[in-house]
Amino acid sequence: MLASAWSVFCQAFELMGKPLAVKLFWADMEYLGMMISVVAFLIMAVRFAGYDRYITKRSISIVGLSALMFWAIILTDPYHGLMRTDFSLNTSAIPYTINKDYGMVYPLYLLFTYGMIMTSFVILMIVARKKNSLYRKQAVVLMLYMALMALPNIGFYFHLFPANRYDLSPAFFGPASLLMAWGIYRHKFLNIMPVARDLLIETMESGVIVADKENQIIDINQSAFQMLGPGQTNLIGKDIAELSILSNDTWPEDTSDLRIFPYRKADKEYCYELKVYPVRDRQGDQAGRLFILNDVTEQKANTQKIIEQQRTLGIMQERERLGRDLHDGLGQIFGYVNAQAQAVKEYLAQGKNDKATKSLNELITASRDVHGNIREYILEMRGMTPRNRNFSAVLKQYAFEFGETTTIPVAITFDDELPDGFPENEQAVTLMKIIQEALTNVRKHAGDCKVEISLKRDGDAAIICIEDTGVGFDPDEQKDGHHYGLSIMRERAREMGADLQIFSQSKGGVKVVIRLSHGGKL
């Protein structure tokens, strides 16, 4: 627009001047403005269409040097007449005009200028046909602007108008400028596509590749070039299948899916994530595909590290659980067997055969328990856990066997308000182990006593109470860290989100209270 304004300025001084030399000077300056305007307009049209790759230093240098060459010929016309010749002053009307004949180079000048004008017009027509409504309106505004500037000039040179004394194209600069101003403010003409593309697409870390419906690449950003590796140049116009990274077998079957696949680049293994989106036109027909590539190599490596850490943690937790299970089951029973065997030995030494026989019977029963516990433990290690058994039935059976073995009676009370399915599978296993540990402590430390186990509802929680009438103990003396049974009970309670408290006095009786929430649904 500045170059066009320069042409208008020079023509005004040409018309106001009277000497032929003055008119020729301003006419020569006017040619400079016209050539710069058509070159600048072509560059703008190319950028507007998104063909920035064609705007290189080389291409601009060729076009610019060609324009300067023509202008140099114009400035030296009086010496050779290659562009214009036989100048004279036409004084038949005011303002005076210049009479001239055109030289042999002038057709090349017309081919140069009008060739750039037609190229710009064709590019804008392509944009108007393919782009969305916003860019279509912008392209139409540009074409109208060019038509207002070029058609009067074409009519003047080819004598298409009846009154052909003056070149009227500068007179149309005013309406064309108003049209351009309207386009700038009404259709956001300055917010052209290349600006948004450079700021958004080219700065994205994701690789972006666009292919048309014939699977030919029509656009690609810098991140995609980097992901493809060195040597991947001049990809525009190539078939997408020529890129091994985007062969059909790597495309997700559905647009909502992601495909993660390895890719080797520069002797290094990478991992890429691919997402494919359909590109549709205004009628809803598929016009191409959009490929989004993300480098997830580091993310995959971090995920693998997390998996390894989780596996290591799982092994440590399993070892800890194994230690607790051995203590709860086999360790305690073998301790009991050892104590009974020593008692039998003493009874036999003292000649108390009846008591020795009774202790041997108890040892036989204990050995059966050991066999059952080992069988249960093996089944659990093989994934065949008793989690789906009825909790109350399992507890009553265990209490019966405990009473038969130890002659310590166990009474069990279930609250009718407890919901069906309580406790849940995982909670049932852990809770059963806590009760077993508590009864084992009764057998080892309480002496002759009775045990009562109750499960009742208390608002949104369940209260499980294991109470005995044995000798009791001082809780303050049990904090030396060597009484693994109590600490294991507390650990198990924490695992299932329960609170565990132990009440006892040295004068007698121990009470273990477990407060267990049932997911807030009790």
What would the pLDDT profile of 28-50 be if each residue is shown by its tens digit? 999 999 899 999 999 988 888 87
What's 210's domain CATH number?
A: 3.30.450.20
Q: Residue 104 — pLDDT band, cuts 50, 70, 90?
A: very high
Q: What pLDDT score does 480 carry?
A: 47
Asked if the structure places residue 278 within a domain, the reply is: yes
Q: Which residue has the higher pLDDT, 140 or 188?
A: 140
Check pLDDT > 60 for residue 483: no
Check pLDDT > 80 for residue 316: no
| Ramachandran quadrant class, 481 (left: phi over 0; alpha: psi -120 to 50; beta: rest) | left
Task: Provide the percentage of residues in the chain whose pLDDT is more than 70.
Answer: 79
pLDDT (average), residues 88-110: 89
Among 331, 351, 384, which residue terminates a domain?
384
Q: What pLDDT score does 522 carry?
A: 47
Q: Which residue has the higher pLDDT, 166 or 377?
A: 166
pLDDT (average), residues 452-465: 89
The count of domains in the chain is 4
Contacts of 372 (CB under 8 A, 6+ apart): none
495 and 419 in a single domain? The answer is yes
pLDDT (average), residues 461-475: 86
186 and 259 in a single domain? The answer is no
253 and 315 in a single domain? The answer is no
254 and 116 in a single domain? The answer is no
Q: What pLDDT score does 383 carry?
A: 40
352 and 286 in a single domain? The answer is no
188 and 280 in a single domain? The answer is no
Q: Residue 327 — pLDDT band, cuts 50, 70, 90?
A: low
Task: Provide the percentage of residues in the chain whose pLDDT is more than 90.
Answer: 17
Asked if the structure places residue 125 within a domain, the reply is: yes
In 348-419, beta strands by DSSP E: 410-414
427 and 472 in a single domain? The answer is yes
Asked if the structure places residue 62 within a domain, the reply is: yes
Q: How many CB atoms lie within 10 A of CB 109?
A: 23
402 and 520 in a single domain? The answer is yes
Q: What pLDDT score does 325 carry?
A: 62
Asked if the structure places residue 305 within a domain, the reply is: no
Asked if the structure places residue 326 within a domain, the reply is: yes
Token output for 386: 């008793």
Nearest in space to 495 (alpha carbons), one of 326, 329, 320, 332 = 320
CA dist 354 → 320, 360, 362, 367 (Å): 42, 10, 13, 20
- Give the least confident one: 109-113, 262-266, 331-335, 347-351: 331-335
- Give the least confident one: 56-70, 93-107, 182-196, 305-319: 182-196
Write the DSSP assignment of 90-104 as a string of letters. E-SSSSPEEEEEE-T
Asked if the structure places residue 303 within a domain, the reply is: no
Q: Can you tell me whether residue 347 is helix, strand or coil?
A: helix
72 and 175 in a single domain? The answer is yes
* Alpha carbons 327 and 485: distance in angstroms, whole number: 8
What would the pLDDT profile of 161-209 be if each residue is shown by its tens digit? 766 677 777 778 888 888 888 877 776 565 544 445 555 666 678 888 8
Among 384, 408, 430, which residue terminates a domain?
384
Nearest in space to 273 (alpha carbons), one of 289, 297, 302 = 297
Q: How deeply is 52 buried, as exposed, middle or buried, from its count of CB atoms within 10 A (0-12, 13-18, 19+)?
A: middle
Q: Residue 504 — pLDDT band, cuts 50, 70, 90?
A: confident
Asked if the structure places residue 455 within a domain, the reply is: yes
Looking at the chain, how many residues does it have? 522
**Is 457 in contact with 522 (CB distance < 8 Å)?**
yes
355 and 435 in a single domain? The answer is no
What would the pLDDT profile of 207-233 be if each residue is shown by its tens digit? 888 888 778 887 888 788 888 776 666
pLDDT (average), residues 78-93: 89
Q: Residue 371 — pLDDT band, cuts 50, 70, 90?
A: low
Q: Which domain holds residue 24?
A: 2-194
What would the pLDDT profile of 384-438 be if each residue is shown by its tens digit? 344 445 788 888 888 888 888 788 899 999 888 777 667 776 778 888 888 888 8
Q: What pLDDT score does 294 carry?
A: 87
Summary mean pLDDT of the chain: 79
What would the pLDDT profile of 231-268 be if each residue is shown by its tens digit? 666 677 778 777 766 665 656 655 556 677 777 776 77
Contacts of 362 (CB under 8 A, 6+ apart): 340, 405
43 and 104 in a single domain? The answer is yes
What's 493's domain CATH number?
A: 3.30.565.10
Asked if the structure places residue 301 within a domain, the reply is: no
Place of tokens 């089944």: 379
Q: What pLDDT score does 429 carry?
A: 80
Check pLDDT > 80 for residue 450: yes
Q: What pLDDT score does 194 carry?
A: 45
Among 161, 194, 227, which residue terminates a domain?
194
Contacts of 246 (CB under 8 A, 6+ apart): 209, 240, 274, 291
260 and 141 in a single domain? The answer is no
